[in-house]
Amino acid sequence: PVNVKRICCIGAGYVGGPTCAVIALKCPNIIVTIVDLNQARIDAWNSSNYALPIYEPGLDDVVKQARGRNLFFSTDIDRAIQEADLIFVSVNTPTKKSGVGAGFAADLNYVESATRRIAAVATSSKIVVEKSTVPMRTAESMRTILEANSKPGIRFDILSNPEFLAEGTAISDLFTPDRVLIGSLQTPEGKSACQSLTNVYANWVPTNRILTVGLWSSELSKLAANAMLAQRISSINALSAICEATGANIEEVAHAVGKDTRVGPKFLRASVGFGGSCFQKDILNLVYLSESLHLPEVAAYWRQVVTLNEYQKRRFSKRVVDTLFNTITNKNIAILGFAFKADTGDTRESPAITLVRDFLSERAHVTIYDPQVEESQIWYDLSEALPDVPVEQIKKQVTIAKSALSAAQNSEAVVVATEWKEFTDIDWRAVYDTMKKPAFVFDGRMILDREALRQIGFEVVTIGRGDKL
């Protein structure tokens, strides 16, 4: 196996940044350079006050320790490729917006151009690692591109090493991963490349947690893991609808079901729906794959996980309208949280976006507060979600507030869309005093103490509980 001394990571986003910063921290003898086309993003990674481009608990500490020592951020992609023994490809793979497979298949444009760049500039042999979540057999396409374009005497070995970190807990997930998965061709060269990458992780990950498998199993395992996680959420959300229509309480049901060691307690929290850049995209990818393989029943099975999630979001916004006496036109609604989950500033596929869109279409006024999301990001997301509405019109109906209390001022309802811990610590009595009466709270994340809120005088509506119960 190659003794890896220099690593290049292409893509300085939510995955490439934290992953390779942690590799640098844990492997002081390896020089790690993270590159990106986006100059502003690289500048932020290099900022002297550590105003990093993504918010992730513990990340700035890792960057502080390693940056300038053996961790570098740069836009000089070609040089970093040339110097590296091993290259991670961590670029984005969003759902295609047009063309064949639009709305389902992954857009592999970014992966392909990064691969072509590697082939064009490499002057020595490389191990190329697919870190992005990709459709199955992408490694094969990467190998074809690399081999067709490489210079004589240069060899490329392709590995699949999908990333299982979760945003919000990325650093602890990377420090103590449940497993690291490395897929390779089962040839002597493939196995040797696999050993080289295993040796990098073995600097801090116990070897019994480093799983080495075939390339295709590795690619499928990442899609499968996300599909099964999302499926748990859709399952519990489907049950939450039954709870709301009966006297059952979804928290009690989830607790009782999760106590079964075969089921387990994690990922059984009902909510307004899942978001994030991965779950929906990766399941749709699996649906597309199943259809291409002429397995329509398999495709329909996984598609339902996404359908149920859409239903859950719609059901929640409808419940808000129904509860507010069947109309929210001209009413003020405060939305607490815009990120797709707590402890991240990421808003990709955030359920909050759907809620705001639904409320705006009912012609309500919406005030949004989120502790981490930038104002410019909120405007961007809303204009993407409402392509037919001019931004000036959106800005007439939407206000962005600097605190939960100011968001709630003069509103008829407060809607919790993200489970930020600080929302449980708000002075809810002060919130109540500033609101119109009757004052409603809609807890889309089941984080609030409904009894305490009722004592104050709120009308409280929670996912997975009937209104009157």
Which residues contact ligand NAI (rule: CB under 6 A)? Answer: 10-16, 35-38, 41, 77, 90-93, 110, 113-114, 132-133, 163, 165, 167, 277-278
Closest approach, Cβ 118 to ligand NAI, in A, equals 10
Tokens of 331: 């009413």
Closest approach, Cβ 402 to ligand NAI, in A, equals 26
Closest approach, Cβ 169 to ligand NAI, in A, equals 10
Is 337 annotated as ligand-binding?
A: no
Choice between 35 and 253, CB closer to ligand NAI: 35
Tokens 């500048």 belong to 43
Is 92 annotated as ligand-binding?
A: yes
Q: Are 136 and 20 in contact (CB under 8 A)?
A: no
Is 41 annotated as ligand-binding?
A: yes
CA distances for 297 relative to 45, 104, 145, 303, 304, angstroms: 45, 16, 33, 10, 11
Is 93 annotated as ligand-binding?
A: yes
Question: CA 266 to CA 259: how far, in whole Å?
Answer: 10
Helices 215-245 + 138-149 axis angle, to 10? 150
Q: Are 127 and 157 in contact (CB under 8 A)?
A: yes
Choice between 313 and 348, CB closer to ligand NAI: 348
Q: Which residues are bridge partners to 214 per DSSP?
A: 184
Question: CA 245 to CA 336: how far, in whole Å?
Answer: 26
Choice between 74 and 434, CB closer to ligand NAI: 74
The residue whose Cβ lies closest to ligand NAI is: 13
Task: Report DSSP letters for 371-409, one per residue.
Answer: SSS-HHHHHHHHHHH-TTS-HHHHHHHEEE-SSHHHHHT
CA distances for 19 relative to 23, 169, 175, 192, angstroms: 6, 12, 10, 22
CA distances for 165 relative to 174, 176, 388, 426, angstroms: 6, 10, 36, 30
Is 449 annotated as ligand-binding?
A: no
Choice between 219 and 244, CB closer to ligand NAI: 219
Choice between 40 and 100, CB closer to ligand NAI: 40
Q: Are 89 and 130 in contact (CB under 8 A)?
A: yes
Is 95 annotated as ligand-binding?
A: yes
Closest approach, Cβ 104 to ligand NAI, in A, equals 15
Closest approach, Cβ 350 to ligand NAI, in A, equals 13
Closest approach, Cβ 177 to ligand NAI, in A, equals 12
Is 15 annotated as ligand-binding?
A: yes
Active-site residue among 27, 194, 243, 278?
278
Active site residue 27: no
Choice between 284 and 368, CB closer to ligand NAI: 284
Displacement of CA 52 from its chain's centroid (Å): 17
Q: Show binding-site residues for NAD(+).
A: 11-16, 36, 41, 91-95, 132-133, 167, 278-281, 348
Question: Binding site, residues?
Answer: 11-16, 36, 41, 91-95, 132-133, 167, 278-281, 348
Q: Would you name the residues annotated as active-site residues?
A: 278
